[in-house]
Structure 1
Amino acid sequence: MVLLTGGRGISNIQILDERTTEAGAAWLPVIVLPLFLVAPALWNGYPLLQWDTGGYLARWYEGYLVPSRSTVFGLYLHWGEGSSFWLNLGLQALATLWILQLTLRVLGLAQPLRLLWIGLLLILTTALPWLASLLLTDIFAGLSVLALFILVTQARRTSALEKCALFGFVAFSSATHSATLGVLLGLCCAGWIAYPWMRRQIALSGLIQASMTIVAGAAMLLAANFALSGQLAWTPGGTGVAFGRMLQDGIVTQYLKDHCAQEKLKLCPYRNELPPTADDFLWGNSMFNKLGRFEGMNDEMGFIVKRALAAYPLWQAKAAAVATAEQLTHVATGEGTSGWVPHTYGIIERYIPSQIKQMRAAHQQHWEINFAVVNWLHVPVALLSMLIAAAIAAHAVWRRRRDDVALLAVTVSLALLGNAVICGVISGPHDRYGARIVWIATFTVLIAATRWFSGSERPAQQ
């Protein structure tokens, strides 16, 4: 009896130890990953800032709409202002953790240590921690693609509460940036096209919900614009950004040379002095400032964009193809996050003076961030990840594979291509536009590798 009792006692102790170990392992990624995701900001001593951050921050205070600055994201930043924006970074880190673990769970790869090492590899080899540590919309671009994928293809493996959370998250993400909304809309359209042939993989209810997130995001943006400015209008700036890309490609200069003799345009006297890049024209000290910036030039820029599209269709098509290809290769981390962000500094100094001291003490403001070193690793990893993800997607299409990893690879490849088309063609190629979304290709490759080496292939949904 003593031996039996002792045996049961030892067995119970072993079971308790195993459960304690499992519980500890489950909490490990929850504690470690969020800290590492905001490690750049913790080291910096203040959330990372970017050229465009100030424009979003100012929306609450200035009460009018400006090009390409979402009022929804401006309100989100204002919500965390009292915490010196650490609440924003905390939410961004937790949202990232949630989407990563949920993706792994619905794909049958839910193990705490697996989540931990995949998360740490992403933090080390991609822009993910820099995006999570940055006061900008970019972190939501990639996360929303994964959330949309889960909503559409994994409806049977998510609860009603998770579906509601995913719906709200995707809607909010689409409202933070027009390019993100465009990518998500394109994925929904692709889902509707594929649905007749993939009824077992694509849930109709999920596809409807995903499509409604776009409607909800648009409504959210219009409501925020009206609340802050009194205007029921879309965020301005689309034609101005497209004009900048055409200027950079030489199309605007040619249009002015061909038509200034017949048309009286404000830019005609400057047709031989136009800056070489869109950034120089729109954000530098150019004639754009003399002519009233967006308020004074919106109508004329829109006029030239429409006429130039009709006047040079082949040139426009070639320029669009080149811009898309170039955007796919522009993936370096850190564009616009150097020490040179004077407009953002000025906005913080004007409207949030209590944070001037800690902002000025941050490493970023002393030019102590070297993204050249970071990109020695990030750029080759990003480019290789895109190629592998595209190869997985192409192989799946060729072999008519419809398993979960194949669906994820196709979704991510379409998102990367759509992002390149929207950002490259409209705004012109920039590293920031590629870096903010390419990390999901690395995540996809890590998932595919895990499936391959673990032998845990899951068949397509029946």
Structure 2
Amino acid sequence: MFNRLRSYLPVLAGVLMLVGVVVANGRPSVFTDTDDYFVEGRTFAYTIGYALHIKTPPPPPTDPEDIADAKQAAADLRMSHTEIGARSPYYGLLLYATQRIGTIWLTTVVQALVGAWLVFMLWRLALPGAPTWSAYAMQAAVAFGSTLPFFASFTMPDVFSGYAVSGAIMLLVYWDRLKLAERWAIGLIVGTAMTFHTSHVLDTLAITGLTGIMMLILRAKGLAPAKAVVAVLATVVCAVAATSIYKEAVHVKTGDELRRPPFLAMRVIADGPGRDYLRWACPRGAKWVLCQFKDLPLDDSQDLLWSDDRKKGIFNVTTFDNRLQMEREETSFVLHAVAFEPVQQVLASLENWAWQLTMVYLDDPLKNPHYYLTNDYWSTTNLPWLINHAADCGRDHWGCNPRLSMDASAVLHSGLFLIGLALIGLRLGLADMRAGFKQKSFVWGEERTRLLMLLTLLVAAILINGFVCGALSGPFARYQARITWLVAAGAAVGMISLVPADGRVRVPAWALRLWALPLVQVFARRIDWAFVRFGMVGVAGFTVDAVVLHAMTGLAGLSPFVGRFVSFPVAVVATWLLNRSFTFRHQTAHAPWRQALVYAAVQGAGGVANIGAYSLALTLYPPFKHMLLIPLAFGSAAGLCLTFLGSKHFAFRPAAEPQAAVAPELEFPVGGAE
């Protein structure tokens, strides 16, 4: 049981790291489209509830004002049918369900859990002989070295783009290493992610096609590769079918077809060929509904779609019938426009693609929620409710600004992305890969070949997503930054693949000579290395404590005092598991259950000092309730020495006295000198 529980620790650690970054940055974030998804999810949930007789439909209105409001609501709903087809009811259902249980903190935890499990599976499949500590290193690389935590806390389906692609790659490359339940679980994640947004379907199809080409080049043999391709294509079919079924159900119920805005038509117009074609064709008798807008600037696709200014906007300011006609004519119009100026369109698309690839930083996930809380329109939507239930932004609504700025993200995440690419390039340029390319000796199924495919596909996913979003929709930072964490994951896999299976690292000869110096040995003998490791575990426990505490206060609405009585026991369990496998690795005098009880008693004694110092700090200085990390630090420091002595001499008391060691017990045992 303990081994099974310990095997899931990297996933738990990954979730805590991801959520920890969110806590450090402030809180989860929303976007304008979050309101659409929430409404769509609520409508979907209510429909299910009515059908299953779990929820009773409201009685028809009888008051004249209520009747008028109902008619207006019906008209607004009908108008929304011309655009809501671009908003997934399935992601909306996830968003709405998590809000009924908790807040957008719970949405964040769910999205982070999926991401942490996929990162863990990628580690386990790609690095079957890697030491256990490297699983935590990989989770840390992705959590602290990429944009993933910010998109895991972004209440939009963007994060599932990378989930769909990474899951598909694992199915395609490592099918034979997956257990049946794991295949189903990853397939379910991939299929569900594709129902969340059309671009996820296109990314997954492109990756599957590229993998199929690589299989042909490598002459893949056996049924496993074919099964993997069929399985991924089956998830695509299921996802498309699920989306179609929902649309047909709405059509049967309301008589309206769910449609999506004419994104591609507006892209072609903003790129130039569509604009030039309109101004050429309309005076010559063309009957496109867009002809009535040919004299507008027509140079910004976002304005064309969503602006309320009639001097710039089209879709958002026109009539219901015009919207329908635009959508019906979109494919034909795009083909005519591209045929009118094909070279210009190709150049414009390539420019958009290239521009999209450079946008690896955060923008919308770092937007100050003050805008949604004070804007004349958005303040009347569900967004203020979602924001205020997750955090108190103060009377002036300025108290929820993220700590990381967009400018800082541009520097930080662009740099991290380039470092990740450099590490992947370094790994592919090492001797084993060079020999494979030179001798053309890559064979399907070999470890080196799988690693090559994995790293290639992860980078290819970045390029594919850039084209799908940049060329077909428009270059926006959010569309690219959502998936760039795959580079951090690939870089981590590449570097960990160089670590020997026993986890030993070779120490340079100069470092060993330095360690052997008498003065260094004098200090080394006076250091209790178990205390150093205990302190490292304490930092991890502090992180667990902080994340759970913020979840209890922000998600469950508990007070800072009551929340601590939840977060502290969780942190105790986490530190017991870590101390058992890391700090005190020797054979102990107690069986696991007895050890756990003694450890709990020791931590309880330390907890009295910990919580006492924490409560005293809050009592003496109430403003600390807005800066919980500070009283948490006081509490942790107060209990550290007491819990270490109790752990060392009671909970983890060795079965026999260990031999005195001159060199410290390192987390990564030292091998020979290079």
TM-score when normalising by structure 1: 0.83
Q: In 2, Cα distance between the equivalents of 1:93 and 1:385?
A: 21
Structure of greater Rg: 2
- Find 1:86's aligned residue among 105, 128, 136: 105
Structure 1 residue 85, shift from structure 2 partner: 3.5
The answer on whether the counterparts of 2:31 and 2:365 sit within 8 Å (CA) in structure 1 is yes
In structure 1, the partner of 2:34 is 53
- Find 2:20's aligned residue among 33, 39, 44: 39
Q: In 1, Cα distance between the equivalents of 2:215 and 2:239?
A: 23
Q: In 2, Cα distance between the equivalents of 1:378 and 1:353?
A: 29
1:279 and 2:302 matched: yes
Structure 2 portions without partners, runs of 5+ = 44-76, 443-447, 503-674
In structure 1, the partner of 2:90 is 72
Q: In 1, Cα distance between the equivalents of 2:334 and 2:242?
A: 28
1:437 and 2:483 matched: yes
Between stretches 84-93 and 292-301, larger displacement belongs to 292-301
In structure 2, the partner of 1:246 is 268
In structure 1, the partner of 2:197 is 177
Q: In 2, Cα distance between the equivalents of 1:283 and 1:392?
A: 45
Structure 1 residue 319, shift from structure 2 partner: 1.6
Structure 1 residue 141, shift from structure 2 partner: 1.2
1:153 and 2:199 matched: no
Q: In 2, Cα distance between the equivalents of 1:143 and 1:418?
A: 15
- Find 1:216's aligned residue among 204, 220, 238: 238
In structure 2, the partner of 1:127 is 147
Aligned residues: 437
Q: In 1, Cα distance between the equivalents of 2:235 and 2:4?
A: 35
1:290 and 2:317 matched: yes
For each residue in 1:381-410, what CA deviation from the matched residue of structure 2 results, as whole angstroms up to 9, or x when unmatched? 224434654676797794544522201012
Correspondence 1:16-31 to 2 at 5 A: 28-31=9-12
Give the match's secondary structure for 2:13: helix
Q: In 2, Cα distance between the equivalents of 1:264 and 1:235?
A: 24
In structure 1, the partner of 2:410 is 375
Q: In 1, Cα distance between the equivalents of 2:492 and 2:107?
A: 28
What letter corresponds to residue 343 of structure 2 in structure 1?
L
Q: In 1, Cα distance between the equivalents of 2:34 and 2:144?
A: 25
Relative distance call for 1:71 and 1:97 in structure 2 (3 A) is same
Relative distance call for 1:209 and 1:117 in structure 2 (3 A) is same
The answer on whether the counterparts of 1:331 and 1:434 sit within 8 Å (CA) in structure 2 is yes
What letter corresponds to residue 301 of structure 2 in structure 1?
A
The answer on whether the counterparts of 1:44 and 1:362 sit within 8 Å (CA) in structure 2 is no
Relative distance call for 1:120 and 1:170 in structure 2 (3 A) is same
The answer on whether the counterparts of 2:162 and 2:483 sit within 8 Å (CA) in structure 1 is yes
| CA RMSD, Structure 1 to Structure 2 (Å) | 3.5
1:138 and 2:158 matched: yes
Give the match's secondary structure for 1:120: helix
The answer on whether the counterparts of 2:250 and 2:256 sit within 8 Å (CA) in structure 1 is no
Q: In 2, Cα distance between the equivalents of 1:150 and 1:380?
A: 27
Q: In 2, Cα distance between the equivalents of 1:355 and 1:380?
A: 33
Q: In 2, Cα distance between the equivalents of 1:126 and 1:152?
A: 24
Q: In 2, Cα distance between the equivalents of 1:422 and 1:104?
A: 28
Structure 1 residue 296, shift from structure 2 partner: 5.5
The answer on whether the counterparts of 2:28 and 2:154 sit within 8 Å (CA) in structure 1 is yes
For each residue in 1:199-246, what CA deviation from the matched residue of structure 2 results, as whole angstroms up to 9, or x when unmatched? 2596221221111111111112222333455489996337x1112222
Q: In 2, Cα distance between the equivalents of 1:154 and 1:314?
A: 41
The answer on whether the counterparts of 2:250 and 2:258 sit within 8 Å (CA) in structure 1 is no
What letter corresponds to residue 322 of structure 1 in structure 2?
E
The answer on whether the counterparts of 2:103 and 2:390 sit within 8 Å (CA) in structure 1 is no
Relative distance call for 1:165 and 1:148 in structure 2 (3 A) is same
For each residue in 1:33-56, what CA deviation from the matched residue of structure 2 results, as whole angstroms up to 9, or x when unmatched? 212312355457753112321221
Q: In 2, Cα distance between the equivalents of 1:80 and 1:131?
A: 16
Between stretches 365-374 and 85-94, larger displacement belongs to 365-374
What letter corresponds to residue 192 of structure 2 in structure 1?
F
- Find 1:97's aligned residue among 113, 116, 122: 116
TM-score when normalising by structure 2: 0.58
In structure 1, the partner of 2:449 is 403
1:358 and 2:389 matched: yes
In structure 1, the partner of 2:626 is none
Correspondence 1:331-346 to 2 at 5 A: 331-335=360-364, 337-339=366-368, 342=372
Give the match's secondary structure for 1:274: coil
Between stretches 174-183 and 349-358, larger displacement belongs to 349-358
Relative distance call for 1:248 and 1:434 in structure 2 (3 A) is same
Q: In 2, Cα distance between the equivalents of 1:344 and 1:110?
A: 51
The answer on whether the counterparts of 1:54 and 1:343 sit within 8 Å (CA) in structure 2 is no
What letter corresponds to residue 251 of structure 1 in structure 2?
P
Q: In 2, Cα distance between the equivalents of 1:388 and 1:222?
A: 42
